[in-house]
Amino acid sequence: DAKTTQPPSMDCAEGRAANLPCNHSTISGNEYVYWYRQIHSQGPQYIIHGLKNNETNEMASLIITEDRKSSTLILPHATLRDTAVYYCIVRVGSSNTGKLIFGQGTTLQVKP
């Protein structure tokens, strides 16, 4: 599975959009990009995933560049409850293992 690179920390003002970048320059054609977040003392929470098209759900939007070497998770109106560690993961969608490899993630601090 390809490796990802994320900034260790970011701040965002409450009510503003939070844009979290992720580099995955060695991604293969059949690898999906997944985003999870982990709020302190809880298990990781699935947010969104995609292959090459942009995706949107009730939590966030995922923008994947045309060459698929990077992506951005967008939380459109960040709240204090969005303060968490955000993980960008790539994995093969058809892998029998299906294991997720979590890196160090980005600690997002949403400030009032």
Q: Does 8 bind another protein (CB under 8 A)?
A: no
The stretch near another protein (CB under 8 A) out of 1-9, 20-28, 68-76, 96-104 is: 96-104
Pair type for strands 31-38 and 84-92: antiparallel
Strand order in the sheet with 61-64: 18-23, 70-75, 61-64, 55-56
Instruction: Looking at residues 28 to 47 of the shown chain, list those that interact with another protein (rule: CB under 8 A).
Output: 32, 34, 41-46
Q: Which amino acid is at 77?
A: H
Residues of span 42-71 touching another protein by CB under 8 A: 42-46, 49, 51
Q: Which is nearer to another protein, 17 or 39 (CB)?
A: 39
